[in-house]
Each structure stands twice: as C-alpha cells, then as structure tokens.
A and B are shown apart, each in its own frame.
Chain A
Amino acid sequence: MLKVLLKKQLFEVFRGYFYNRKTGKARSKANSIVLFILFAFLMIGVVGGTFAAIAIGVCIGCAEVNMGWLYFVIMCGFALVLGAAGSVFNTYSGLYLPKDNDLLLSMPIPVKILITARLLNVYLLGVMYSGVIMLPTLFVYWVIADADILTVLGGIVLFLIVTIVVLILSCLLGWVVAKISLKLKNKSFIIVLIALALIGGYYVVYFQLQAWIRTLVANAAIYGENIKESAYGLYLFGRIGEGDLFAMALYSAVTLLLLALTLFVLSRGFLKLATSTSSVSKVRYQEKKAKEKSVFGALLTKEFARFISSPAYMLNNGIGVLLIPVFGVFLLIKGDELLNMTATAFGGRTDLVTLLLCAVLMLLATMNDIAAPSVSLEGKGLWILQSLPVEAKTVLKAKTAMHLLLTFIPLLFSEICAAIVWKAPFAEKLLLFVVPTIFAVFMTLFGSFLGVRHAITEWTTEIIPLKQSAAVTIALFGGWGFVALFALPYFLLGLLTGLAPYVAAWIVIFAAASVLLYRWLVTKGAETFSRL
C-alpha cells in the first residue's frame, strides 16, 4: 500500500515529464526519456557540477590547515538551505494541502500509512535537492583529503543526518507557509515581496559567493578557531565527516529525537490538518453605496484586480513595473559617472550614449508582458465577457490600457531621471522621452495582438498562459529582437545618418506599426475574441 501511495505521489510531482501540461495528452516514451535526461543534466551536470567546483576550492583550503570539519560545516549549510528551500513548496502542497486527502481518507488506508507516504515523498525530494550538494561534497573530500573507513562511515552518517534535518525543516517551513497562506489578507503582495527579496538575495549571494569563499579559505585557520571556540556544536557537527564516532553518535541521537518529535506532532494533528479548510478570518460585508463606473472603467478595474490577485502574473509578466523605476533611481545615483564613462569609451560620442540609454529603457519596457496572457487568463470565465453587453473591442482596449498604464508611469519616471542625469542637448533629451514611450505603446499593442492570436482558454494552471504560452514567449523575445533591431544598425549607420534622422525613422516605424496593430485589434481582433 505504501509503495502504491508513494508511486502515485512521485507521479504527481513528475507528471509534467509524462503528460503535456497544455494538451493533457501523454508524451511519447522518447519524449519522456529526453526530458528526464535534461532534468538529470540540469541537476547533476549543472547544479551538482557547480557545487562540486565550489567543494573543491573549499576542501583544498580547509584540508591545508587541517580543518576538514569546517569544510563539512560550510557545504552542509548549503545542502540544508537548498534542500529545505527546494522542497518547502512541495511539502506545503503535498503534506498540508493535497487535493486528494478527502479521497484517500475515505479509502481503507490507515492514517499512519498515509502520513508515512507523504513524509517519504517529502524526504525523497529533500534527498534530491540536498544530494546534488552532499554527494559532490563527500566524494571531493574522500578524493582530496582522506578516505578511510571512519571518514566514509562519517560521510554516510552526515548524508543521512542532513537529509533528515531537511525533512524536518521542510515540514516546519511547509507548515509556516500553509499558515501564512491561510491567514494573510494581502498574500499576493506579500508573496511577490518575499519572492523579490529571495531573488535579490540570490543575486547578492551569487555575486559575492566566490569572494566570500576565497576569504574564508584564506583565513580558514583563524575563522575555524573562532567557530570552534564560540560554536562548539558546529565544530562537532563538522567532525562527523572527519569520522569522529562521538560526534556521529551524538548528532544521530539528536536527529532521531527531532524526527520522532516531528512524527509525533504530525501524526497527532494530521487528520485535523488534512480535513481543515481555510481558516482565514471572514471579512464581514458592510453595505455601502458603490461608486458607479463607466463600462470601460469597470473593465479596467477588473483587469487590475486580476493582475494584483496573482503573484505569478505580477512576477512573471509585470516585473518591469519595479525594474523600470529601479533603473531610474540607479541613474540618479550612479548615472552621471556611468554615462560619462560610457561616452569616454565611445570616444566622446554622446549620440551613442543617448541611443543606448533609449535602448535600455526600451528593454526594460519589454519586461512587462501584461497584455500578452490577458485574454488567455479569462479561461473558463470567458463566457462572462462574451455574454455581457460590452463590445469585444472595449474589452481588448481595457486589457491594453492596463498594460500601458503599468508601463508608461514607471517609464516616465525613469525617462525624467535619465533626462536629469544625462547632460545632452535638448533634442537628444527629448528623444529619451519619445522613443521609449512610443516603443512601449507599440509593445503593448503587440502584446495584445499576440494575446488574441495565440489565446489558450483551456488550461489547468495559470502558469501555462503566464509562462509557457506562445503569446508571452513571442512578446518577450520579440521585444528584445525589436530593441536589437533598433539599436545595433546605428553602430554602422550612425555616422552617415546622424542620431535625429535615424531615430525619427524608427519613431515613424513604431508609430505606424502601432496604428496598424490598433486597427487590427478593434476590428479582426475583436471579432476573434468574441468567437473564442
């Protein structure tokens, strides 16, 4: 029974490898094998390889000063973070909020078996994530430093301890995520903020990691002594990898105790957890006079409500709303120095700097792909707009307007910042406003056009229209292509044409394309939308 349940759960996790998520149809065996090979390459080759390279650097430095324990502390720290972070969301959905709890609880399956299957699933995912660090860590140590019976035994014990601690952390963090998602009111914004903080943190760590490791390895003896004195527990933990039997016994006992405690707490509360529904505090309805809106206003409000309701929509398709003003602020702080340096690099050609500044603003505008998935996102609720007395063109205009507003306002801010910082002639400053703005209008209409042409109204998860649809992919990469088409030829033609005529030609092109796209949208696009 346990095997059947485990197989079912792992199948759910890896379902995408066997079934096409867009069509729901089974993939061919060859297709599944290729996807698994790609996954294995990504996990073992890319992630595992990266950590193997880090492990080699750290191991050499630590082994030189006879501090193998410090090496294990550092690498196990990475494994714990990656293991817990990687499996926390699967734990959340798989352990606390699985869709099939009611079904399985109605079957003659003992609750203990159900919990064990769920936990084994979490454990295996944790092993997968932490294993890509732990396995290279152990092999690197055994090859570079020492590989006697005790260190190999210590390595195995360390692997088991780390993966079990990952399981415990995942259960704990999954519980926290479940609680947060049930209790918070503005969870969309909070999820977006957390995700942005994590992405920011990731890049900070990514860019600093090598420097940190270099410093650590260079001063391993000093840091090691400090840690040993102030955090003896960490020292003892690292000693497991070096084959210290006392450390192995102590940490195994503590880990098993924590595991038993986790199992005890989970088994006591599992039924309550599995059968409880959202306990979010009810918002009491208080009757009040509603503010009347025009049809267009109502549609626009609806579009904004859709946008802010989904962290995935905001993060995947509206990140430009944040990035564009961040660039403006960056320009205000560092722009003067950076732009002058660029001008010097281009032999004093300010026209090239103006062009590049326009191109960067345009590129940032392409980070907003809000209109492209908008029609697809109507999904099963499409009947509402189709049966209400609104013209399809008004619906499409509202979708386009939201994208435009969310791009134009931050863009205007960054354009003003650019104009303040960049000491260029007035005409060139004017171009900083006109070119990115007209391009943003063009990209908005292009996104709306793609959204109607490549609409997918049948989907199982909103990630499909948001990330995997043709509309979004073409809008994003097409946008980059347009920016390249705009900027690159100038490096060849610039001296011949001069900046103003060159850019004027592009303004005409983008404006004409915008007019054509708009006309298509309110005629054929509207017709297509009403027959979706």
Chain B
Amino acid sequence: MLRIENLTKTYGDKKAVDNLSLHIHAGEIYGFIGHNGAGKTTTLKCVVGILGFEQGEIFINGSSVKASPVECKKQIAYIPDNPDLYDYMSGIKYLNFVADIFGVDSETRQERIRKYADAFELTKDLAQPISSYSHGMKQKLAVIAAWLHAPKMIIMDEPFVGLDPKAAFILKEMMREHCNQGGAIFFSTHVLEVAEKLCDKVAIIKQGKLIQSGTMEEVRGNESLEEVFLELEAE
C-alpha cells in the first residue's frame, strides 16, 4: 500500500531523514516512533506530498508521490500533529469542503458525517465556527474529515494528542476497523503503550535513520516496547 524507498530529506546541511525505507501493507497499523526531532513529521509530510524530497521514492498503491501527487493524495488522508483547520468555517462547512474536494456524494457524506460525528459526540457543535472549538474538538473534526472519503491509507501525526479517553478509544476502534476492511494506517506517536497494543508493525527512527522495524514481536522480543526504545536511544 505504501512503499518508501531510500527517502532522504535535507534542511540546508542537516539531513532530517536519511535513506529511510519502509513498506506498509494493506490491513496493517504501522506505528512510527522516535524522539522529538527524529524525523517522524518530516517523513509523514513527504508521504502526503506537503514536503518535497531530494532522494528516494514514495509509492502509494504503485503511484509515485513525485510523479502523480494528486493521484496519490486521492487515496490517502492526513491528520497533522496540530489540527490548524479553517477557523472561519463551521465544522459542517469544513467537512463539506473536504467532501467536495474528494467528490463524495451528498448521501454518502451525510451518512458518514452522522456516523462519525455521533460517535465523537460532535454533532451538536457542527454548526459552530471552528474558531470556537477546543483542541480536542478540532482533532475530532480532523479525524472525521480524514475518514469522510474512505481513504485506503491514513497518515496520522500524533493523533491521540488532545483527545479525551473516550474519543481516543473510539479512534483506536476506527483504526482497527479501517485496517480490517483492507485499509492501512501509518501513524507517529510518543505513547508507547498505545503503539504496543494497537500496532501490527512498528518502526523506530533516530536522527533521521531507521534503526529498527518489523512486527511488534520482532521488535520488542521479550521486552516491552518502552525498554527496547530506551535501549536503542541510548546506543
């Protein structure tokens, strides 16, 4: 579903991502962990086409992000680490805007908005301007917008930040359901317990380089993910 090959991204002289390769298959929840400034957000932004990159290739379902960016973006959804949405729109207007861009028909979008907004208890606030939303409400809206067009691949940067426990639980359920239906999820997180319980596979990045990846069992062995992560960080 997502293939990252030898990705290298530099900012001036600094290599933010250094020769990183990953392969994410349909049905997988893939966790991406690393310390602050390790290169997680940069990698995710390259995947969704926000950032250009010097070397390597990224393919989504066989389409190159470089050569066919719009084609790739049609198959993915992205939730950034900080949901800076259009403050001047109401929640429902933002969702309709995203639905229009992805060409989701009226009936389908109505049904999905109802389903996810009810799940996140956001329905009554949909007519309110986004500027009046709390961080958590914006995050919920960003999640609904991401699921609105039923993407094949969902890319998320720290998706649980700002969500209340119930909303975090619902999101985890949605992630699992999405992958059970043949989709894939690639997300970064600092919450290692969540990664450990939720992810099928995990990749650890340090100073832009991939230092460990594989199934959860392969990566952690008999230790906890936290222990493995701290050991690798100390090396």
Interface residue ranges, A against B (CB under 8 Å):
278, 280, 282-287, 289-295, 297-299, 301-302, 305-306, 309-310, 379-381, 383-384, 386-391, 530-531
Contact = CB atoms under 8 A, between A and B. Distances in A.
Interface centre among B88, B107, B123 (most CB of A within 10 A): B88
B98 A289 contact: no
Given A384-B85, A384-B86, A389 B128 contact: no
A386 B50 contact: yes
29 contacts: A278-B132, A282-B128, A283-B128, A284-B127, A285-B91, A287-B113, A287-B114, A289-B106, A290-B110, A293-B100, A294-B100, A298-B97, A298-B100, A305-B88, A305-B89, A306-B86, A306-B88, A379-B84, A380-B84, A381-B86, A381-B87, A386-B49, A388-B98, A388-B102, A389-B71, A389-B72, A389-B74, A390-B101, A391-B70
A294 B106 CA distance: 12
B209 interface: no
B143 to A, nearest CB: 14
B30 interface: no
B136 interface: no
Contact of B101 (A283, A284, A295, A530): A295
A287 B96 CA distance: 12
Contact of B110 (A286, A287, A381, A390): A287
A305 B93 contact: yes
Contacts of A286: 127
B85 to A, nearest CB: 6
Nearest to A286: B127
B80 A383 contact: yes
Contacts of A386: 48-50
Given A283-B128, A285-B92, A305-B88, A387 B50 contact: yes
A290 B96 contact: yes
A380 B82 CA distance: 9
Given A301-B97, A306-B88, A381-B84, A292 B124 contact: no
A36 to B, nearest CB: 34
Nearest to B104: A292
Contacts of A302: 86, 89, 97
A501 B35 CA distance: 69
A386 B45 CA distance: 10
Interface centre among A285, A286, A287, A294 (most CB of B within 10 A): A285
A380 B48 CA distance: 16
Nearest to A295: B101
Given A283-B127, A381-B86, A389 B50 contact: no
Contact of B124 (A284, A291, A298, A390): A284
Contacts of A530: 49, 69
A298 B70 CA distance: 17
Contacts of B110: 287, 289-290
B73 A389 contact: yes
B101 A389 contact: yes
Nearest to B130: A381
Contact of B106 (A290, A309, A310): A290
Interface string B106-118: 1101100110000
A278 B133 CA distance: 11
Given A309-B88, A386-B48, A390-B70, 20 more contacts: A282-B125, A283-B127, A285-B123, A287-B110, A287-B113, A287-B114, A295-B100, A298-B97, A298-B101, A305-B86, A310-B88, A379-B84, A383-B84, A387-B49, A387-B78, A388-B101, A388-B102, A389-B71, A389-B73, A531-B52
A9 to B, nearest CB: 25
B126 interface: yes
B84 to A, nearest CB: 4
Contacts of B126: 285
Q: Top 8 A-B pairs ranked by shortest CB distance? A: A309-B88, A298-B100, A389-B73, A380-B84, A285-B127, A285-B126, A283-B127, A389-B74
A286 B128 CA distance: 11
Given A292-B106, A384-B85, A285 B124 contact: yes
A162 B166 CA distance: 57
Nearest to B109: A290
B202 interface: no
Contacts of B69: 530
A200 to B, nearest CB: 27
Nearest to B145: A384
A283 B40 CA distance: 39
A481 to B, nearest CB: 33
Contacts of A297: 100
B223 interface: no
B105 interface: yes
B90 interface: yes
A40 B84 CA distance: 40
A309 B94 CA distance: 14
B216 interface: no
Interface centre among A284, A306, A379, A389 (most CB of B within 10 A): A389
Contacts of B107: 289
A285 B125 contact: yes
Contact of B99 (A280, A290, A305): A290
A391 B74 CA distance: 11
A444 B126 CA distance: 35
A292 B104 CA distance: 8
Nearest to A188: B88
Contacts of A309: 88
Contacts of B90: 283
B119 to A, nearest CB: 15
A531 B123 CA distance: 35
B118 to A, nearest CB: 10
A289 B51 CA distance: 36
B134 to A, nearest CB: 10
A294 B50 CA distance: 23
B203 to A, nearest CB: 21
B90 to A, nearest CB: 7
B106 A389 contact: no
A389 B89 CA distance: 20
